[in-house]
Amino acid sequence: MSTGYDELMQSPIALSTQAATPHTSHASTSYHHMSTVVLTDGETTVRAVPQPGGIVDVDRTQYVLKEIHCHTPSEHTVNGHQADLEAHFVHTSAEGAIAVLAVMFDADDGRHPVDAFIAPPGSPPTTEQLDKIVPKGSKALRYVGSLTTKPYTDEVEWVVFTEKLPVGRQALDAFAARYGPNNRELQQVTQHQVTYG
């Protein structure tokens, strides 16, 4: 487990599907044993904590879902686009390795499943809503970076899905009024090796 801070491996970064090299292994995004999600009001965002956590495999390492939280606007950019919202699914392995799955959302006028994850605590999202905020089958950009909040721990496996989902404008505006902007600024691309597929 890394508890280090490597200034050459920081996140977020500007991602490009054209500049990335192809990867062959796909991250599985099927969660198991998900029951309920508890929302807690954090200092900088709303945290959704699954009880018990779901499981995802990334390159044959099994990770357990620990937390879902959101940033507005998005932290990563994809092909120069900054999305309105970026959800982070934070996972850890039995060995203490960290993997974060990132999903991008752009605002529209309807109501959408992710709205429940950025709402004030009190009406927890359902498992069904959790299932709907992962773009299954989406391609993803992958690289090794860091946490984007303190302590900025390095050796974090990032899986940034390129298929975007919608977020309700009303829910987004309320979240942004309370917490926004809560995105870390883009970090310089140095030793990051980005793959796409």
| Site residues, Zn ion (CB under 5 A) | 88
Nearer to Zn ion, 23 or 88 (CB): 88
Residue 109: CB minimum distance to Zn ion, A: 26
Nearer to Zn ion, 88 or 112 (CB): 88
Nearer to Zn ion, 6 or 197 (CB): 6
Residue 42: CB minimum distance to Zn ion, A: 11
Residue 179: CB minimum distance to Zn ion, A: 12
Nearer to Zn ion, 88 or 91 (CB): 88
Residue 22: CB minimum distance to Zn ion, A: 27
Token output for 196: 């796409």
Nearer to Zn ion, 47 or 88 (CB): 88
Residue 184: CB minimum distance to Zn ion, A: 8
| Residue 152 Rama label (left phi>0; alpha psi -120 to 50; beta) | left
Q: Which residue is nearest to Zn ion (CB)?
A: 88
